[in-house]
Copies of this chain bind each other. A is one copy, B any other.
């Protein structure tokens, strides 16, 4: 999840100065429409210490007309509060229709902290998170628009801030920053679970890279604007929609500006595509890894453990040849490859996850998916086959699905094979020249290529929402096919060894 917020996004001072007035203006416009609606806006500010959450709260208060905005810091409890059921303090401060509440700290704080300090076990944490989901659904059904913001810093950046804090401005030193940075990894793991279990269609999470303050603030602006627009449109009569086209246009301008000026950087850009492997190194490693995999597959069979691998990636990224290097190492009785193309009639007649559930391997066997359920949040999103509320909902559906798999003790591998657009072009042209490969290149491939930036954003969001501690994505550096294959085989061998070393449930 968080890897998608460690890619180094920044925004220049000049761009910030240009964008901020537009954001400010849209905030005011949308606030006027909110005032006339029967909705409320709740902004939840959460995330790691040192990310500048306080500054964000200040910004939001500056951009909105503060008359209708209330900020509530949920920090230590008053005795009034601690003597009542836990959610009383939140209910008492819920905004009235037409108004806005900014929650600095929230119902997430205590479960996460309690779990980190061992006051809750995992099932109890899940129980708390279920209550939060229920609360958010109740409020959402009652007309609350949720904007949940999680501000993230990498461990290194947080550490750096801690040191800067000490050196530069003594008066700003936060005792919490020091306390929490010591258990960074523990908090990251628990927070990830909290986000994953409460990342619903009606109250989705937004993970924001917070190392650059200007990028952070404009991202917040952008997210709040989109959420308000969508939330306010949903139950307005048709004719009012038209009169609001100005706002919509203005806000897509911000989105585009932000995209062109900063966030073309995604998690994919953190992959070093220059990594290569010589033919002889490759051959040596390939032999070793395939032998290792061969043995591991039989061992999985013997211990009745199952495994599932899925491959996604750019067209011409080398999925097929990578899969062949995997399958040629495994006894043919032990695996099946399921290529995912257009669904059959029967598959179309079912929930989109049905076609994937049906091929789940049984104990001792492996299934390899060539493309997968992630089509829902990739091609179906980019090509607009699925509506936004449908693919947004899918993140949680997919996470739930994969949790069933790993709960069962299954080894799960998710590969995105990444190549540069230049490398793709080279391969496309090569395919066109080679009569044996011409069938592999179609008009669709060229069309998809034009949507490169859209796909890139979709991949980034996919990783942000679905790469969890238990179900991580592996982004493969694919410009060198040899390097990619070795990276994949190594990941699989290590993963299977890890699975075999843990007890089956």
A residues whose Cβ falls under 8 Å from a Cβ of B: 79-80, 83-88, 91-92, 94, 96-98, 121, 123-124, 126-127, 130-131, 134-135, 138-139, 141-144, 201, 304, 306, 346, 349-354, 357-358, 360-364, 393, 396-397, 400, 403-405, 407-408, 410
Please list 11 pairs of residues, one from A and one from B, whose beta carbons are closer than 8 Å in the complex, sorted by A's number.
Answer: A83-B362, A85-B404, A85-B408, A87-B357, A87-B404, A91-B354, A94-B351, A94-B354, A123-B126, A123-B127, A138-B400
A76 CB, min distance to chain B CBs, angstroms: 17
Instruction: Please give me the 7 A-B residue pairs with the lowest Cβ-Cβ distance, nearest first.
Output: A83-B363, A96-B349, A91-B357, A83-B362, A123-B123, A85-B408, A142-B351
Specify the chain B residue showing the minimal Cβ separation from A87. B404
Q: Is the CB of B141 within 8 A of A393?
A: yes
Given A121-B123, A360-B84, decide whether A400 and B353 contact each other with a Cβ distance below 8 A. Answer: no
A91 CB, min distance to chain B CBs, angstroms: 4
Given A84-B362, A91-B358, A123-B123, decide whether A349 and B138 contact each other with a Cβ distance below 8 A. Answer: no
Given A92-B357, A92-B358, A123-B127, decide whether A349 and B400 contact each other with a Cβ distance below 8 A. Answer: no
Specify the chain B residue showing the minimal Cβ separation from A345. B96
A361 to B83 CA separation, bound complex (whole angstroms)? 8
A428 to B440 CA separation, bound complex (whole angstroms)? 85
A80 to B364 CA separation, bound complex (whole angstroms)? 11
Q: Is the CB of B138 within 8 A of A88?
A: no
A357 to B127 CA separation, bound complex (whole angstroms)? 21
Which of A91, A124, A346, A405 has the most C-beta atoms of chain B within 10 angstroms of its own C-beta?
A91
Q: Contacts of A96 on B, CB cut-off 8 Å? A: 346, 349-350
Q: Is the CB of A86 within 8 A of B408?
A: yes
A351 to B140 CA separation, bound complex (whole angstroms)? 10
Specify the chain B residue showing the minimal Cβ separation from A308. B85
A135 to B80 CA separation, bound complex (whole angstroms)? 39
A306 to B304 CA separation, bound complex (whole angstroms)? 54
Q: Is the CB of A130 within 8 A of B135?
A: no
Q: Is the CB of B80 within 8 A of A362?
A: yes
Q: Contacts of A94 on B, CB cut-off 8 Å? A: 350-351, 354
Q: Is the CB of A410 within 8 A of B80?
A: no
Q: Is the CB of B85 within 8 A of A410?
A: yes
Q: Contacts of A121 on B, CB cut-off 8 Å? A: 123
A410 to B354 CA separation, bound complex (whole angstroms)? 44
A358 to B96 CA separation, bound complex (whole angstroms)? 14
Q: Contacts of A353 on B, CB cut-off 8 Å? A: 91, 138
A461 to B361 CA separation, bound complex (whole angstroms)? 44
A93 CB, min distance to chain B CBs, angstroms: 10
A341 to B139 CA separation, bound complex (whole angstroms)? 23
Q: Contacts of A403 on B, CB cut-off 8 Å? A: 131
Q: Find A124's partner among B123, B304, B362 (CB 8 Å cutoff).
A: B123
A131 to B133 CA separation, bound complex (whole angstroms)? 12
A277 CB, min distance to chain B CBs, angstroms: 36
Specify the chain B residue showing the minimal Cβ separation from A82. B363
A360 to B349 CA separation, bound complex (whole angstroms)? 49
Q: Contacts of A396 on B, CB cut-off 8 Å? A: 134
Known: A84-B408, A97-B350. 7 other contacts (CB 8 A): A79-B362, A83-B362, A83-B363, A85-B404, A88-B360, A91-B354, A94-B351
Q: Contacts of A408 on B, CB cut-off 8 Å? A: 84-86
A134 to B126 CA separation, bound complex (whole angstroms)? 13
Specify the chain B residue showing the minimal Cβ separation from A361. B84
Given A123-B121, A123-B123, A124-B123, decide whether A98 and B400 contact each other with a Cβ distance below 8 A. Answer: no
Q: Contacts of A124 on B, CB cut-off 8 Å? A: 123
Q: Contacts of A127 on B, CB cut-off 8 Å? A: 123, 126-127, 130
Specify the chain B residue showing the minimal Cβ separation from A397. B138
Q: Is the CB of A83 within 8 A of B123?
A: no
A100 to B97 CA separation, bound complex (whole angstroms)? 42
Q: Contacts of A83 on B, CB cut-off 8 Å? A: 304, 306, 362-364
